[in-house]
């Protein structure tokens, strides 16, 4: 399998090269040359497969012989060695809980998969690798955990000061060793722009072996397909495929779901659940895409005004607006609506949503109100305890604290503050 740049101004590369480079030399995102389609028999018998067998069948065509089969199986095992339960909230809405990994967020799978692929690839290199990543919340912790103490790799995480939860901040600033955190005076989009400038800096790239761990990296993006297959395996009504509702910020997760559907996964429809950062809902409304400056919300991991994976979404539909609009609906949910939904769902069902899951739940509810015969799955992307300061006042109760979080509390964060200035970042990286 080869990968081409969506800017189409650089050569096609292997999975290994795409993983190591992160982004093409023409600043484009990598995209697979073809999309493998799984046979109908695979879906007919999906209940008989283990999670590891499902994941291997999905990812192998994208990697083929670039990683030996036994090594790839081990990478998959380490990336998904926790549960992905499908939990019924009410008659029509189910929650796919993606927060049972080490950092209690859905990004654990992609971060762990990519870190282990990179670990395998860098064995052949004599250069030290610097992983540069921007985070709006959960990516930072997942990447830090996934790459912690990986030999030959240094991780530098940029996050917007004051715009991540205290738990998220502790997860990305307290590990030490090969993990460093830069607290940027700006938004996530500012952090992402600094990362893109670094990759575009030819001089810097001569000095450092840079790669990215954001969902722009093919090895972070592709394994996110696993969630949708795991959900379908647990779906009881195979004659009536689910609607998938995805809380969306940089749109890597939703884009992976669309890719899974193109690979044959039965899906009724997709819903992109957005907060006040509504570039995609507006695009689907009028056909015009206008990047916006990100605004801060309670669902901070989705505070993205210019989602990088939008171009991949377009590519999946051959840049045909009508085809994309037929497959995808999007809603913008306000903070007051987010709060009310957490309160209502907890009071009515006992189920506790985090702010991102709340945005997803209400978006799915709105869609299903207009499509009465359908049922849906909301991807619950983070454990509510990561946003206890938001959730607890709403439900007037404490959120149970998992052991992994108890071990974080009381630790001292270690970060370096920088302004929204590329020279400051460059100086730090070269030092």
Domain ranges of the chain: 83-106+221-398
Q: Which of 6, 53, 102 is nearest to 308 (CA)?
A: 6
* Residue from 236, 206, 195, 240 nearest 374 by CA: 240
Q: Which of 51-55, 129-133, 206-210 has the highest mean pLDDT?
A: 51-55
Name the active-site residue from 27, 51, 88, 107.
107
| Mean local confidence (pLDDT), 192-201 | 89
| Bridging pattern class, strands 93-97 and 179-185 | unpaired
- Write the CB contacts of 193 (distance below 8 Å, at least 6 apart in sequence): none
Among 218-232, 311-325, 373-387, 402-416, the minimum mean pLDDT is found in 402-416
Note if the pTM is more than 0.75.
yes
Instruction: Dig out the tokens for 317 from the structure.
Output: 């539909």
CATH 3.40.50.1100 fits 83-106+221-398, yes or no: yes
What angle, rounded to 10 degrees, do the helices at 188-200 and 422-430 form?
60
pLDDT digits (tens, 9 = 90+) for 70-128: 999 999 999 999 999 999 999 999 999 999 998 899 989 998 999 899 888 887 766 78
CA distances from 364 to 64, 227, 300 (A): 36, 18, 19
pLDDT at 219: 95
pLDDT band at 336 (very low <50, low <70, confident <90, very high): very high
The pLDDT of 177-201, averaged and rounded, is 91
Closest CA to 407 of 381, 385, 389, 391: 385
The first and second tokens of residue 169, run together, are: 């901040």
* DSSP track, 53-109: HHHHHHHHHHHGGGS-HHHHHHHHHHHS-S---EEE-SSSEEEEE---STTSBTHHH
Count of beta carbons in the 10 Å neighbourhood of residue 337: 16
Q: How far is CA 138 from CA 63, 275, 347, 383, 405, in A?
A: 26, 16, 27, 11, 14
User: For residues 97 and 379, what is the distance between their CA atoms, to the nearest angstrom?
Assistant: 6
Which neighbouring-strand residues pair with 418?
A: 184
391: Cβ–Cβ under 8 A, 6 or more apart, which residues?
342, 352, 354, 355, 384, 399
Q: Are 15 and 3 in contact (CB under 8 A)?
A: yes
| pLDDT, tens digit (0-9, with 9 covering 90-100), for 358-372 | 999 999 999 999 999
- CA 422 to the chain's CA centroid: 25
DSSP for 105-156, please give it: BTHHHHHHHHHHHHHHHHTT-SSPEEEEEE-SSHHHHHHHHHHTT-TTEEEE
* Phi, psi at 365, each rounded to 5°: -60, -45
Task: Verify whether residue 107 is a known catalytic residue.
Answer: yes
């Amino acid at each position: 399998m080869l990968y081409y740049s969506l800017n189409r101004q650089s050569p096609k590369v292997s999975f290994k090269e795409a993983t190591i480079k992160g982004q093409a030399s023409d600043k484009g995102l990598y995209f697979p040359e073809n999309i493998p389609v799984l046979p109908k028999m695979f879906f007919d018998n999906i209940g008989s497969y283990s999670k590891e067998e499902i994941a291997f069948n999905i990812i192998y065509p994208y990697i083929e012989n670039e990683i030996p089969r036994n090594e790839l199986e081990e990478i998959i095992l380490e990336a998904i060695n926790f549960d992905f339960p499908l939990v019924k909230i009410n008659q029509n809405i189910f929650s796919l809980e993606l927060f049972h990994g080490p950092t209690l967020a859905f990004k654990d799978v992609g971060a762990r998969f990519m870190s282990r692929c990179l670990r395998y690839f860098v064995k052949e290199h004599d250069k030290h690798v610097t992983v540069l990543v921007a985070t709006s919340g959960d990516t930072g912790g997942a990447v830090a955990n996934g790459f912690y103490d990986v030999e030959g790799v240094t991780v530098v995480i940029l996050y917007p000061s004051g715009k991540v939860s205290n738990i998220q901040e502790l997860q990305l600033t307290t590990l030490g060793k090969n993990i460093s955190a830069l607290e940027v005076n700006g938004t996530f989009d500012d952090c992402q722009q600094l990362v893109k400038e670094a990759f575009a800096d030819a001089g810097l790239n001569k000095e450092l072996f840079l790669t990215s761990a954001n969902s722009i990296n093919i090895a972070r993006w592709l394994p996110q397909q696993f969630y949708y297959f795991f959900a379908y395996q647990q779906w009881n009504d195979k004659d009536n495929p689910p609607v998938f509702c995805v809380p969306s910020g940089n749109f890597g997760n939703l884009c992976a779901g669309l890719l899974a559907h193109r690979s044959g996964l039965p899906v009724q429809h997709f819903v992109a659940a957005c907060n006040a950062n509504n570039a995609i809902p507006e695009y689907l409304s009028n056909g015009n895409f206008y990047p916006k400056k990100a605004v801060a919300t309670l669902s901070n991991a989705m505070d993205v005004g210019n989602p990088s994976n939008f171009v991949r979404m377009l590519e999946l539909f051959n840049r045909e607006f009508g085809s994309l609009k037929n497959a995808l609906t999007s809603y913008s949910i306000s903070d007051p609506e987010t709060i009310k939904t957490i309160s209502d769902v907890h009071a009515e069902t006992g189920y506790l949503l985090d702010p991102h899951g709340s945005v997803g739940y209400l978006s799915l509810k709105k869609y299903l109100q207009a499509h009465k015969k359908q049922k849906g799955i909301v991807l619950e992307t983070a454990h509510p305890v990561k946003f206890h300061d938001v959730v607890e006042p709403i439900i007037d109760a404490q959120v149970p604290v998992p052991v992994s979080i108890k071990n974080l509390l009381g630790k001292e964060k270690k970060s370096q503050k920088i302004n929204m200035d590329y020279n400051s970042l460059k100086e730090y990286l070269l030092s």
